[in-house]
Amino acid sequence: MSSAPTIYAVRRQIKAMGSDQFEIGVFRPESAGSEARMLLRQWDGETLMRSVPWLRLQNRDGWNIYIRPNGEHELNLVDDLTAEAVGAMKAAGFRPAVIAKTSPGNYQVWVKHGEQLERRTSTAAARALAEKFGGDKGAADWRHFGRLAGFCNRKPRYQDVDTGLYPFVRLIEAEGAVYPEASRFVADIRRELEERSLARRRGNVQNARVGPETARTIDEFRADPRYCGDGNRIDLAWAIYALSHGAAQEEVAAAIRSRDLSKKGNGRRQDEYVERTLRQAERRIEMDLGR
């Protein structure tokens, strides 16, 4: 099959996203006899275009192809939308910069704010957009992957039982424009974050919430029976959760230290434990993909 449609779709998508550098995730889910694997590449647009033939080979061999801007950026992904929800976004002044149909009846969009957002603000904006338009809240954070158009969605549930084929991720629109409501919306997000920050400074760090008010505290994780009171499991699970929702490492570290870590040893060993937990959480987040 000709590579021209894929090249055309990729070029249009990255131009509309407008980032200088991209992070490409080449992901293979668990299959018989093998574990899930992720290959990460950091490329500029020119390198990405040269790499399309290699990405096509990986996709043909069962790997899914994802994209996100590298580093902090001006975009947010809204995942798992219906066509009606995309229409509602446009009508409300949130016209996406990129619209991709990722599977039958499912859409992903990238919205462009017109300014680079720091992580916490970007995560809060992503969650607010998901809540407002019915997107996937689990995919709402500052660094989530979206699918790269022009490649197959290799999730097994989308395979055609008759032909064995998978649906292509189709680029529906790629205007690349900042949405009309951007300035007002971002200002509202920043005001809400500042109000929460002021409220948090009046309380204590272990009860501080990260992200929107629906986010969970570390104490809620400690009370969750699934972790059986295992402090190490709780610390790692909450670190993954908090960092992926835009919390600063310093905030997460302080929350972990809010329990008694004396069993870890002296102060230096306790610091090493906290740092190790943060590193493990960051590695786990690297495997967190868009849909």
Q: What are phi and psi of 262, to 5 degrees?
A: -60, -25
With 50 as the cut, is the pLDDT of residue 214 above it? no
Span of 12-16, 139-143, 262-266, 284-288 with lowest mean pLDDT: 284-288
- Options 1.20.1070, 1.10.287, 1.10.1240, 1.20.1180; CATH for 203-286 is 1.10.1240
Q: Where are the domains of the chain?
A: 4-178, 203-286
Largest CA distance in the chain: 63
CATH topology match: 4-178 vs 203-286: no
Can you give the pLDDT at residue 198?
75
Span of 48-52, 84-88, 137-141, 190-194 with lowest mean pLDDT: 137-141
pLDDT band at 291 (very low <50, low <70, confident <90, very high): very low
Average pLDDT over residues 27-54: 85
Average pLDDT over residues 185-212: 71
pLDDT in tens, 64-86: 999 999 999 999 999 999 999 99
Average pLDDT over residues 228-255: 85
**pTM recorded for the entire structure:** 0.74
pLDDT band at 215 (very low <50, low <70, confident <90, very high): low
State the Cα–Cα distance between residues 43 and 70, nearest whole angstrom.
Answer: 9
Tally of CB atoms within 10 A around 62: 14
Does domain 4-178 fall under CATH 3.40.1350.10? My reply is: no
pLDDT in tens, 135-153: 998 888 888 899 999 999 9
